[in-house]
Structure 1
């Protein structure tokens, strides 16, 4: 019989491999300084941290940045297929998220009804 993991809102950092203070410093750091900040952390811990951060929408990019400091095998040991995907993402050139801002004109929806000049729109 396996014991189920319990989740608690009392301690949201229970899964995080770092102390809350260290995690706070890393999440508030400039992106350019993150790799230097995690340099002294053992690679296995960095890999678990990368997976932890990647799994949260507000720290997703930070997780990828920290994964770039880890070897693929270490990320795979930490998270299996997710670690493998994280390794691949961390080796790609950075692309800022678009969040749907580049929509095509063809997909526009008008709430004003049809145009009276005969053109479709």
Structure 2
């Protein structure tokens, strides 16, 4: 019995589990078309694809959306704790990652430097 290799977002050598052509169609698809495209992919492959996409910043949201089409147990088999986290994320409204950014108190940023008081000039 052969065991499928477990994928992880920490594994930079992990290859995409679908063809580049199929990946391109999925990446460009609108919501309705995406549903049709992923319905034709076996669940275990969808789970690996979700992990693969989630691990890349530019396809993070797409990974979460595809994970929503998978059972938690399938995602856990594909990626362990990462799969479990991905399952939880896919069952909530999507919130883009903040990457540690924060806003200033006023929310305003000046690119012009400090203002000079005309009385002191």
TM-score (norm 2): 0.71
Instruction: Please tell me the root mean square deviation across aligned C-alpha atoms, in Å.
Output: 3.2
**Matches for 1:77-96 after TM superposition, within 5 Å:** 77-95=77-95
- The aligned length equals 106
Q: Hey, what does 1:69 align to over in structure 2?
A: 69
Aligned to 1:55: 55
**8 A Cα contact 2:61 2:94, kept in partner:** no
C-alpha distance 80-100 of structure 1, shift in aligned 2 (>3 A): closer
Q: Counterparts of 1:6-25 in structure 2 under 5 Å?
A: 7=13, 15-25=15-25
Q: CA deviation at 1:30?
A: 1.1
Instruction: Evaluate the alpha carbon distance shift between residue 34 and residue 6 of structure 1 in structure 2; reply closer, same or farther with a 3 A threshold.
Output: closer
CA shift, 1:40, in A, is: 1.3
CA distance in 1, matches of 2:77, 2:17: 15
Structure 2 match to 1:11: none
Extract unaligned runs of 5+ from structure 2.
Answer: 1-10
Higher relative contact order (CA 8 A, sep 6+): 2
Counterpart for residue 119 of structure 1 = none
User: Could you tell me the TM-score, scaled by structure 1's length?
Assistant: 0.71
**Residues 99-118 of structure 1: CA distance to partner in whole angstroms, max 9, x if unpaired?**
889835347666416x86xx
Shift of 1:36: 1.9
